[in-house]
Structures are given as C-alpha cells and as structure tokens.
Structure 1
Amino acid sequence: MDKEDLELKEELAQFTPLALACLDGFIEIAQCMIHKNPRLVCIVNENGHLPVLLAATRGKKEMTRFLYSVTPSEELAPEKGPNGATLVSTCIVKQMLDVALDILEKHPRLAISSGKDNFTPIYVLAQMPKLFPSGGSLWFWQRWIYYCTNVRLRRAHDQIPTYIGENSSQQSRQSDNIIVNVLNQLHGMVSHLLDFLDLGIKNMHAKKLRNRQAIKLLKCISCTIKNLKVEQLDESLVYQAIIQAVKHGIVEFITEIIDSNPDLLASEDFSKRNIFLTAILHRQEKIFGLLHRLDNLRRIQMISHVDMFENNMLHLAGMLAPPRQLDGISGAALQMQRELQWFKEVESVVPQTFKDVMNKDGKKPCDLFTEQHASLMKDGEKWMKEIANSSTFVAALIVTIMFAAAFTIPGGTNEKTGMPNFLQNPLFMLFITSDAISLFSATTSVLMFLGIMTSQYAESKFLTRLPTKLIIGLSTLFFSIAAMMISFSAALAIWLNDPSTKYVILPLILLASIPVSLFALLLFPLLVEIFISTYGPGIFDRRIERWY
C-alpha cells in the first residue's frame, strides 16, 4: 500500500484504519501504520476527534500513551480547538493521570479550556473523589501499607510499548517474545501469590500513585487559575468546580484551589449557598470542619450567610441528608443518630438566635428537622424493635438453658453430703462460673431489650439513650453466648475425662466455638459501629490549625 492509502476514511463515521485500530487497542498495527504515515495521528473523524482521543474514550491506556507520544504537541494546544481539553478530561475520568499531567505541563491553559462537552478539566477533576486521599477510608492494615509504600511518578513517555518496526528480524522478535513471555509468567506468578496472601500491596501502591498524581495535577491547575479575573473564573467553571468538590467532599481540592486564589472562598452555587452551607446540605463533615480553622471575621461571614430561600446553616442541617450519604450507615436508627449529630454540631456553631429564624416557607430549623425526618424516625424505631425482639428470644432461651444446667451437675452429687463429686476439679469450677456468667449476662440482655421495646421514641432519644441500651444488650448477649459455650466445653471435658475419650475433646470444643464466631462475624461489626458512633471521637474536626 502507498502511505496515502492509509488516509482513506470509511463512509459511516469517517474513521481511518488507524482510528479503527485505536478503538480496539491494536498497538502493533497502529505502530506499523504510523511508521509508514506519521500524518495519520493528526487526521480527525466525523466528530473532529483525533485518534488519541478515540483511544482514551475507549479506555485503551497503552494505546493512548503510545498515540500521545507520537501526536504533535501543537495539535492539543487550546488554539487548535477542544481536542486537548477533551483529552485531558477523558484521561482524568479514565484515570490516566500521567497523560493528563504531561499535557497540562505543556499547555497549562487547557485546565480552564472547554472540551467538546463544554466542561473544563478542572470541573471534571472536582467530580472524581476517588482520585484523592480524602475520597475513601482505609483499614488500619491498609493505612500501614499505604504509608510504607514508596511510589515514583513516571511520565507518560516512560510507559510506551516498544516499537515493532517492519525491518526487524524474525529471530530478534522471537527472542524478544520468549523473554517477554518468561517475564510475564514470572510477574503473573508473583501477582497471584500476592493476591493469594491478600496483602493488598498492589492495590495500595496503585492508590497512592493515583493520589500523588491527582495532587500534582491539582497543583498544576491551581497555578493556572491564580491570577484569573472573575469573568474568566466564571467562564472556566471554576466556581461550579468548587461546589462540585464540596458535594463530593474533596478537601484537598478545596484547600489547594482557595490557597491559590483566596477570593474563591466566597464561591456560591445557583441557590446562593456558600461552600459551608453546601457542605452541610450534602453532609460533608471534612469540608465543614474547615470552618473551625478560619479566623473570627471570615467565620462570622460564612456563618451569617443565607441562601436564596432564606435558609441559614441550621435550616440546612434540618433537611434530610442525600440518600448516598445515609446508605453508608447501617440501620435507620444510626442514620437518625447521624442526622441528630449534624444538627447538634451546627447548632453549637451558629448564634442562638438562628434557632428561631424562619425561612421563606415560614419554618424554623427544628420544625423543618421534625418534618423531614419523620419517616426516618419511624424506620429507626422499627429497626431497633426488630433487633430487640429477635435478640430477646435468643437471650431468654439462654436464660432457660443455663438455669437448668446449673442444677444438672456433671458427675452427680455425693449421696451422703449432697456435694458435687467433682467439686475439687478445676474444670467443674470453670463450668459453674461460666454458667453463672452466661445466666446473668443473658438476663441483663433480656432486660435491656425489653427496655428498648418499651422506650419512648422521641428524636433526642436516638442520640445516646437508645443506642446505649442497644450496646449493652448486644454486648451482654455476646458474653452470654461465649460463656455458654465455655460451660458446655467444661462439662464435656469433665464427662470425657477418661484417657480413651480424650482425643474427641478438642474437636468438640472447636465445634462449640462456631456459634460464638458466627455471632461475632454477624453482629460484632454492628456493635462496634454503634459504639464508635455514640462514644467515639466524632465525625467533626475541630483542630485549631489556622487555614484562613
């Protein structure tokens, strides 16, 4: 074929052969085509999309990196149209941050340039909370791996596959393929081993690399908007980007962008809500915590702000949280507790007069809270009564069993004295002690759950009183089940004390531990969540470290 033949387009969407290869990620074919005709990377399709943009849209990361390395940089400049900004936004969405960062370092103004969808890269980045450290919580062992992992930021050009030229010898290709195959097999074996051990090292490394790339990308964007005027900020969707970052709880985005341009602290949405009113409405406690780090003057300005419906901070705290925020909390009662915690926190910040201020609908904050949380309160009452009802049945059954077991003494009693035959045996004392603990714990659990079923379900009771009863009830039920299994195992050990039967004691004790383990797996996480939610450090950050 002549190289001009590769520039022919099919009729449907005006795709060149290179564009079709890009859509499916055929890197070797694309390399050969570009080697023959380098102009192919600059030919657009019917929608004006460059081949590198087509590959990025389909999520073909290796193909995108390769095409970006051979696409002239001026083709992505803001002056050449929306392809550059669209490519940056697409790379952010597809998490090819190395490519996005490399483009912005060459063309910084692309960060505030509109793409083909009329969105700017800064606006797109503000809707990607998973790219930032604040966008997800880690277990303690994941945090340890995360902080111990060393990552190195690589440029997009460092990850481009090796070019396969038409003059390469078959022998060299075969030897390269053999080496590549061996390396891939070794890499696969190591990867499977790490996955088998469930260490999560690869995932934590990828997460930390993503976080560092996102932070560097954010710093590059913040330098671009540093000296922009109000009209330019509005055209670039910077104000809207800040509001989107608040809705998604991206603390790093808010602090970095406002540090670069302090005037952006006064950003508002279309309802005239500033960043702190928006944080309350969307229950983003990390953003709201920044309020405590403002100086007195700015804090008063932020607190005194009202939206276009004359809602103050307390009104917005009285509104029901978005479903995506409540879905992460177990049970309607704990959701109601979290809503009360938000209302009390905001109430402690605003002046006392805010409690009696009415909005445009003539409603006070407390009236608005009661109205919007009526359904959630009923669901919380139903949820707690269902748990209490089922747990009462289990606890009452344990009380019956352990009361009867106390008078069914293993080994019998002495006919003359009436004393147990195994009174001096340590296992017998373990049996009696664990039996008594199980009986008393189960009785306490029954009383706590009865107290839950007969409690007054007012709004304020969901804050500490009802959760405390549930904590005591579930804790004592757990202890009663564990003590019951210990009592059972001790009785077995007494009965099977003969040398010929000792080999069955250990398997039976292991079987007895199954119910305790199941209870711990099923209900213990809920118990921990309730305890932390009620008596933990809280979800709000009141650090004195000054921000502005």
Structure 2
Amino acid sequence: MAAELSGSENSGSDAELSGSENSDEIRHEFRAFCAAVRRGDWEEAREFLTLHPNVITATDSWGTALHNATIFGHEQIVEELVQLMTEEQLEIKDGDGWTAFACAVRENIKMVECMVTKNKKLLGIAVEPLQRTPIVIAARNDQWDIVRYLYSLTPPQDLMPDKGIYGSELVRICLEAKQFGIQIEPGHSVNDFRINIQNQENEQGNRRNNTGYIVLNVNVGINRIRKLKLIHVRSRQILDFMCEVIKHLNDEELKDYYVSDAIVVAVENGIVDVVTSLCKARPELLLTIYKDGKSLFHYAVECRQEKVYSLLYGVRQRNLITTFIDDSDKSMLHCAGMLSPLATEKLDRIPGAALQMQRERQWYKGFGQTDK
C-alpha cells in the first residue's frame, strides 16, 4: 500500500528540505523526525518541529509528516499536525500526486473529519494520475461511512459531467456495490426478539428457546428479502432515469457514453430488464451491429441467455435480425451449434452430460421456430 501511495520503494532518497535548513545534520534529524512520526512517537517529533518548524512542509519518500502519520494510522499525530498546518499546507501532494487527505479516506474517518473540518477544498482535489477524487477513492475501498460523510459535504456541482468523470465513476461504483444512499438495519423486532429469547432460555428451557431462534431466523430472512426488494426498486429507478437521458443522445454521444458496451454486458449476464429498457429508449439498438459484427441476439445465443433471446419473438424486425451474419460469416444458428467460453460456463452448471446435451439440442431446435 505504501509504495502505491507515495513511492516508498525509493526509500533511500533524500528529504526535500527548503530554505537554509539543508545541512547534512538537519537532513539526518529530519529522517529521524519522520521515523518518529511513523512509530507514533509524538514527543520526539514535536521536539524537532519546535526547533525546525518549517520542515512541516518538507517531504521524504512517504510524503510530508502528515502523509506519514496518516499512512501509519496515528490519529493523535494527525490531529496535532493539522492544528499546526495552514489550509494550503494540507493540500501538499506526495510524489505520486496524493494528498494526505486522499490517503486518509481509504480507511480512517476520524482523520478525514479532522482534515476536512479545516479545509473543505480537499474534497475536490483529485489524484490526477488515477483521475479519482477522495469520495471516489473511499468508494473504491468500500469505506461507505466515509463516502456518506464526504457526500454530505461535497457540492453537487463537483459531481456534474463538466467537472470530469468523478460523478459517473461514483455512481458506477455505488451500483456495483449496491449502495443506494440507504442504510437498512435489522428491525427493532429482531433485536427485541433476541432479548426475549434469552429470557425464555432462563425461564422455560431449551425447547422454547429453539422455537424462538427458528422464528428469529425467519425474521432475519424477511429482512433480507426486504433489503433485496429495496435494492431492486432503487436500481429500477436509476435505470429509468438513465433511459430518459439516453433517449435524447445523438449517435456520437451514445458511443461516448458506452451505451453499446452496457447492453452487451447486460446480454452476457442475462439481465432482461436492462436490455428491454435500453431498447425501448433507443429501438435502433435492436438492429445495431456490435463487436465482431454481432447483433445483441448473436451474443444472447453465444452466452446461452434464453430469456434475452426470447425477446426476439416480440420484435417486428425478427426475420431481418435472424438473417444477420457476423464478421466470421456465422449466423445465429452457427452460434447455437458452437460452444463459446460463456456458453460452456453456463452449461457447466447443469449436472450430468445427458442433461447438458439435452439443453444444447433444445437451443439448436429452437431456431426452427424463429421464422414462424
């Protein structure tokens, strides 16, 4: 982690000291100062800072003293250093373009709160080589308490398209992690019931207690179903919103926003809702030729996604689509007779060679009905 954050592989490099304090003796003491910070020895570090206050902005291979304290998780030293530093000094980056704040959002909300309270500009400073702002870094590291905290402070305009890819990247990560700005906790009835279980064990013995735990497990299962339902509802709302935007894009924007890539991924994974919604918003996607000259129905056959392929029966241009030939001169019938890696992966889930063969024959025979 350290090497990724601040180039620690160059640990033998000299500290970059400014001004007149650049003697060999001070450089040696500075290295000892940074080592003390990494150890969490604030008393030793403070003594050196008292003698040489300007070195608070100097860097070693790990960055400034604040970078060092942050990376090694010393909350007290971070608080002390933040009090001594100006807002501008908190914005100093290490050799790899990371501020100490960007390092903190990977794992420590107390440090995050301490720094951003003093300088809210830190919220918008990106790690340029990675094109990631702090909130995106936190999301990529599954620090959702930090993400929610940063989101409450981040101006909405900083996540707009004209500011870069940060807003769309955050949405993408949240979708993948099924984080929709809601926090679903087990209901009070579950917690209360757990207490009741303990009382029943004391008063009525294990038989009643076991019955209670069965009911508790059912209750937990209901909460899980509720959570999945909410995730589906939120996902549906986001999909509907995106489709409204897609309706008004020109051809170049459709390409720039990777709409074609999105529908291919949806086909590969058999996500019918996404395929139908995108095609309703932009019907031409049904007739679009994708990578290697394939239609989305070619991909559906290759991946053995029968639910996606069955959409073909409701398409008016069915006869036209079934005649499409890809860049290898293969029709959908050819795809049905071949096993792609994705088809093999799905077929492997069916137990037994006989059932697998039956399944493949059903796919092949199904193409006799597409032109009826």
Query: TM-score if structure 1 supplies the norm length?
Result: 0.45
CA 1:336–1:84 in structure 2 vs 1: closer, same or farther (change >3 Å)?
A: same
1:238: which partner in 2? 259
Shift of 1:79: 1.3
Shift of 1:286: 0.4
The answer to whether the aligner puts 1:40 opposite 2:122 as a matched pair is yes
1:30: which partner in 2? 112
The unaligned stretches of length 5 or more in structure 1 are: 99-153, 161-182, 352-548
* Counterpart amino acid of residue 319 in structure 1: M
CA contact (8 A) 1:313 1:350 kept: no
Shift of 1:334: 1.0
For residues 276-334 of structure 1, the C-alpha deviation after alignment (integer angstroms, 9 at most, x for no partner) is 22211111010111112223xx1111122222222222211111252221121111221
For residues 184-243 of structure 1, the C-alpha deviation after alignment (integer angstroms, 9 at most, x for no partner) is x94794899576458522321221111111111111111111022222212222122212
Q: Pick from 6, 15, 19: which aligns with 2:102?
A: 19
Q: Pick from 78, 93, 96: which aligns with 2:161?
A: 78
The answer to whether the aligner puts 1:328 opposite 2:365 as a matched pair is no
The answer to whether the aligner puts 1:305 opposite 2:308 as a matched pair is no
CA 1:204–1:323 in structure 2 vs 1: closer, same or farther (change >3 Å)?
A: same
CA distance in 2, matches of 1:89, 1:231: 21
For residues 502-530 of structure 1, the C-alpha deviation after alignment (integer angstroms, 9 at most, x for no partner) is xxxxxxxxxxxxxxxxxxxxxxxxxxxxx
The answer to whether the aligner puts 1:50 opposite 2:133 as a matched pair is yes
1:266: which partner in 2? 287
CA distance in 2, matches of 1:209, 1:289: 28
Q: Pick from 248, 264, 280: which aligns with 2:301?
A: 280
The farther-off stretch of 54-63 and 41-50 is 41-50
Query: TM-score if structure 2 supplies the norm length?
Result: 0.64
Aligned residues: 267
Q: How do 1:329-348 and structure 2 match up within 5 A?
A: 329-348=350-369
Q: RMSD of aligned C-alpha atoms? A: 3.0
CA 1:196–1:333 in structure 2 vs 1: closer, same or farther (change >3 Å)?
A: same
CA distance in 2, matches of 1:329, 1:340: 14
* Counterpart amino acid of residue 31 in structure 1: E
The answer to whether the aligner puts 1:97 opposite 2:180 as a matched pair is yes
Q: Pick from 118, 142, 148: which aligns with 1:59?
A: 142
CA 1:344–1:59 in structure 2 vs 1: closer, same or farther (change >3 Å)?
A: same
Shift of 1:42: 1.8
CA 1:202–1:12 in structure 2 vs 1: closer, same or farther (change >3 Å)?
A: farther
Q: How do 1:59-458 and structure 2 match up within 5 A?
A: 59-98=142-181, 154=182, 186=191, 189=194, 196-197=217-218, 200-295=221-316, 298-320=317-339, 322-350=343-371
CA contact (8 A) 1:272 1:308 kept: yes
What SS class does the counterpart of residue 339 from structure 2 fall into? coil
For residues 139-173 of structure 1, the C-alpha deviation after alignment (integer angstroms, 9 at most, x for no partner) is xxxxxxxxxxxxxxx5xxxx69xxxxxxxxxxxxx
CA distance in 1, matches of 2:232, 2:328: 38
CA distance in 1, matches of 2:257, 2:135: 24
The farther-off stretch of 307-316 and 213-222 is 307-316
CA distance in 2, matches of 1:217, 1:327: 33
CA distance in 2, matches of 1:248, 1:52: 29
Question: Alignment identity in percent?
Answer: 32
CA distance in 2, matches of 1:279, 1:49: 35
CA distance in 2, matches of 1:241, 1:8: 37
CA 1:195–1:10 in structure 2 vs 1: closer, same or farther (change >3 Å)?
A: farther
CA 1:303–1:217 in structure 2 vs 1: closer, same or farther (change >3 Å)?
A: same
CA 1:350–1:314 in structure 2 vs 1: closer, same or farther (change >3 Å)?
A: farther
CA distance in 1, matches of 2:89, 2:104: 12
The unaligned stretches of length 5 or more in structure 2 are: 1-82, 198-211
CA distance in 2, matches of 1:51, 1:293: 46
For residues 249-277 of structure 1, the C-alpha deviation after alignment (integer angstroms, 9 at most, x for no partner) is 11101111111121221122222221222
For residues 409-438 of structure 1, the C-alpha deviation after alignment (integer angstroms, 9 at most, x for no partner) is xxxxxxxxxxxxxxxxxxxxxxxxxxxxxx
What SS class does the counterpart of residue 309 from structure 1 fall into? coil
What SS class does the counterpart of residue 349 from structure 1 fall into? coil
CA distance in 2, matches of 1:197, 1:61: 28
CA distance in 1, matches of 2:226, 2:96: 40
* Counterpart amino acid of residue 56 in structure 1: A
